[in-house]
Amino acid sequence: MRLVPADEGALDRILDESHDLWSDSLSRAAYAKYNRAQTRTPWGAHHLRRFTLLDDNGTVLSSAKRYDFRARLDGRDVGVVGVGAVFTPARQRGQGHARGIVEQIIAAAAAEGAELALLFSEIDPAYYAAMGFVPTVRQELLVRTKDTRGAPMILVRAGEERDIPAVTDLARAMAERHRFALVPSEDTIRFSLSKKRLLAGFLPPGALSVEFFIVEEGAGAVAFAILTATCEDVILEMCGDRDPTGARVGALLQVLRARTPADPSLSLACFLPPGWCPPQVEIESRHVVREVMMTRPLNGADPGLPLRDDDVLYWHGDLF
Ligand SMILES: CC(C)(COP(=O)(O)OP(=O)(O)OC[C@H]1O[C@@H](n2cnc3c(N)ncnc32)[C@H](O)[C@@H]1OP(=O)(O)O)[C@@H](O)C(=O)NCCC(=O)NCCS
């Protein structure tokens, strides 16, 4: 059995079979374009690869995506391998191939120095627990801005390419305060935006919108928020604020709320940094997320797992 990067033919077969499961309502053609485009972005080209496990005849036994991240873990900058889209063709199931590809991807990343493996289980977490992964039970929040009359006097405008360095600094400062968080770079922020914009572009017009706003003071961004919206929900994908209380993100959300005063206030689904909630925002409800975050130490690292929910800053925009 060999672990190799998926070639075009293998990728097409995997996309054929996995389309029903992971297409996000994209057509088969758009699903393929969406997947290929992500690996052609500046970050994706070097940090996102799809692998296949092949037998001696070249038959695809299983497949998965490998992401190479940097993360803060207990105050250190460490390499993290993310494993996503684990998929075994139906006729190959039940023979240990998914386990085999996950182990091989992790072993390769560990040999390159990664200290932690990370995945989000869509199936019974017991399957990955048997491979040494430890679950972190996380709660998704529904939040909304408290009722006010009108918008605060701050300058909110659409974020642009020139804002990316300041936005990255803000996102990085947020990440540093927690036991575990991905380390944002300019390219991961661009990737996160591009991925959502690609999805919006490949879906029918109006199905998904992506909004990127900053609060500007003086020369540049002092807070930002990235949101996605469908007719069903609005997700706060990521945000950052120079103000430790989050008051500028709160004001930004109040400005967005004030765009549609005649409509009822919308709830935003999000993960917020532990212990952090802008003063203008209230938490309506919280529920345990279905896709379970799971981590496994590599290379003899002993980070003291499990990570607890309040150890972790992990945005919707970081999910893979
Ligand atoms: C999950 C999946 C990758 C397993 O592939 P596989 O090569 O058959 O896996 P393995 O042979 O290593 O392990 C088989 C075991 O996986 C477990 N498993 C498979 N599907 C499962 C599910 N939906 N929930 C929980 N466990 C599951 C079972 O314990 C199974 O054992 P069994 O054959 O005795 O029933 C495969 O079923 C698949 O591609 N499913 C669709 C995509 C998917 O859900 N991927 C997981 C994303 S986190």
Give the helix ranges, DSSP H, for 213-275. Answer: 247-257
Residue 145's Cβ-count burial label (10 Å; 0-12, 13-18, 19+) is buried
Query: Do 2-138+290-318 and 139-288 come out as alike in CATH topology?
Result: yes
CATH fold of the domain at 2-138+290-318: Aminopeptidase (3.40.630)
**Cβ of residue 276 lying under 6 Å from some atom of ligand 1:** no
Give the per-residue pLDDT at 50. 98
Q: Are 134 and 294 contacting, i.e. CB atoms less than 8 angstroms apart?
A: yes
Q: Residue-wise pLDDT tens for the chain (320 aa)? A: 999 999 999 999 999 999 999 999 999 999 999 999 999 999 999 999 999 999 999 999 999 999 999 999 999 999 999 999 999 999 999 999 999 999 999 999 999 999 999 999 999 999 999 999 999 999 999 999 998 888 999 999 999 999 999 999 999 999 998 999 999 999 999 999 999 999 999 999 999 999 999 999 988 899 999 999 999 999 999 999 999 999 999 999 999 999 998 988 889 999 999 999 999 999 999 999 999 999 999 988 888 889 999 999 999 999 99
Q: Is the pTM of this model over 0.85?
A: yes
C-alpha 180 – ligand 1 centre gap (Å): 28
**What letters, b where the CB count within 10 A reaches 16 and e where it falls short, cover 57-80?**
eeebbbbbbbbbbebbbeeeebbb
**Cβ of residue 98 lying under 6 Å from some atom of ligand 1:** yes
Amino acid in the structure at residue 175: A
**Measured between alpha carbons, how far is 78 from 219 in angstroms, rounded to an integer?**
33
Q: Are 24 and 199 contacting, i.e. CB atoms less than 8 angstroms apart?
A: yes
Give the per-residue pLDDT at 149. 82
**Cβ of residue 62 lying under 6 Å from some atom of ligand 1:** yes
**Cβ of residue 97 lying under 6 Å from some atom of ligand 1:** yes
The domain locations on the chain are 2-138+290-318, 139-288
Quick: pLDDT tens for 19-52.
999 999 999 999 999 999 999 999 999 999 999 9
CATH 3.40.50.300 is the classification of domain 139-288: no
**Cβ of residue 8 lying under 6 Å from some atom of ligand 1:** no
- CA-closest residue to ligand 1 atom 46: 86
Residue found by looking up tokens 């529920």 in the block: 287
- CA-closest residue to ligand 1 atom 8: 93
Query: Could you give the 3-state DSSP secondary structure of residue 176?
Result: helix
Give the containing element (helix H, strand E) for 21. Answer: helix 8-22
C-alpha 310 – ligand 1 centre gap (Å): 30
